[in-house]
Structure 1
Amino acid sequence: MSDDVVQSAGAKLFIGTKAATPVYVEVGEIENFGEFGKTYQTVKFNPVGKKRTQKRKGSFDEGSLSLTLGRVPSDAGQAAMREALDDPDAYPFKITLDDAPDGVGATPTTFLFEALVMSYTTNIGGVDGVVKSTTNLEINSDIEEEAASA
């Protein structure tokens, strides 16, 4: 596998069951994933005897995903997202990239995390568009990244 950049096309999102060993179903028709990842709060301190603000890392947030979807009510993954919306618990999620090396048993880069489904809205849009949904996932765990492997 080379160190080349990976295109977004072919990336997939899966929502899992809350079982000890989750069973995942793909969320279909994702148009845009947005971005996610750890961000620290800046802690500032201004001692009277110095002119320079001192900075430290404070708490961190793993971020959120604001997904844009082509709305398909019969899609099993979208239905699972709508069901998770009214559940106060986090669900397991998995994102896979389309970067698995050629060969039998090869696996793609995979991100694993738990998230709360915070919204699921509908946007009918204009005459030259499709009906879309937007859903927001608040990541509530560490994000584990498993590199692609042959």
Structure 2
Amino acid sequence: MAIYATNGAKLFIGGSMTVDGDDLTVTDFDGETWVEVGETENLGKFGDTSNEITFAGLASGRQRRLKGVRDAGTMEVICGIDYADPGQLALISAEKTIFDYAFKVVLNDAPEGGTPSERYFAAAVGSASEALDTADNVMKLNSTLWINSNVVRVNAAEA
């Protein structure tokens, strides 16, 4: 079993897309034109979790838990600001709309001569704010992606 560093992972944004509630497949992203979001520092976390539904039974005196709807999460993306980066400009533009957009994450885990793992999902860009911290910091673009679909996993493959 192997582990891999996050270093080398890349985020891409595509065009707007309609999400109807059904699980997406990799073919839903065929023909997409991808633009890399440059100068990424942190891609945050994403992936399904189920909401908790609780029931406090009077007779049993026992809390019971059921699984509710699934939520792929909110991805907090941090980039060093690059005013000319097409991907960062696309994030800023997408934040100004009500639409979901196609996203792709490419991991740095390809076997020698093979292809890396990829993750695909649709998300609304909930924020695109600038963080101007103290003197010895890089100015950052912080973007929140509200994932509104399942995350499609494509695993790394041998050559």
Within 2, Cα distance between the matches of 1:48 and 1:65?
Answer: 39
Q: Secondary structure at the match of 1:148?
A: coil
1:37 positional shift: 1.2
Instruction: List aligned pairs for 1:52-91, cutoff 5 A.
Output: 52-91=62-101
Q: Secondary structure at the match of 2:57?
A: coil
How many residues align? The count is 146
Match in the other structure for 2:7: 9
1:18 positional shift: 3.2
RMSD: 1.2
Q: Alpha-carbon deviations, 1:38-87, whole Å to 9, x = none? A: 11111111222102111110112110111111000100100111111111
Within 2, Cα distance between the matches of 1:42 and 1:83?
Answer: 34
Q: Percent identity?
A: 36
Larger RCO (CA under 8 A, 6+ residues apart)? 2
- TM-score between the two structures when normalised by the length of structure 2: 0.88
Residue 115 of structure 2 is aligned to residue 107 of structure 1? yes
Q: Alpha-carbon deviations, 1:92-136, whole Å to 9, x = none? A: 000011111112xx2101000000001001112111111111000
Within 2, Cα distance between the matches of 1:102 and 1:39?
Answer: 33
Within 2, Cα distance between the matches of 1:44 and 1:83?
Answer: 40
Instruction: List aligned pairs for 1:37-48, cutoff 5 A.
Output: 37-48=47-58
- TM-score between the two structures when normalised by the length of structure 1: 0.93
Match in the other structure for 2:26: none
Within 2, Cα distance between the matches of 1:52 and 1:5?
Answer: 41
